[in-house]
Amino acid sequence: MKSSKKLFVVLFILFVALSVIDISMVSAESLIINYNSTNGKRIIITEHAELHIDKNYIDKEHSYLIAKKIEKGIRNLKNYLGAKYIKYNFEEPGKI
């Protein structure tokens, strides 16, 4: 009986710890739609942006972090302004 209580407490603590951890690092790649590496550049495409970053300028992990922050910023701006104030069509080929 004591070992089952200890197991329950350990599992509960593990569950609480996992629910508190910032999941944003796990979901960072979910914001990236496409990634290509050509001609010395990284091309990272999100829903609202297309980034062309020189490979010698910054590493892949930081490129993903920048793309994630830009995508989140655009999404937050769209949510803040509301649909009636957004005049830019993000579906057009000219992404930000």
pLDDT digit string, tens, across residues 18-36: 665 544 444 545 777 888 8
- pLDDT at 89 > cutoff 70: no
Classify residue 8 by its DSSP letter.
H
Please return the burial class of 30, using the count of CB atoms within 10 Å of its CB with bins 0-12, 13-18 and 19+: exposed
pTM of the model: 0.56
pLDDT at position 26, please? 45
- What are the sequence ranges of the domains in the chain? 26-85
- pLDDT at 76 > cutoff 70: yes
- pLDDT at 48 > cutoff 50: yes
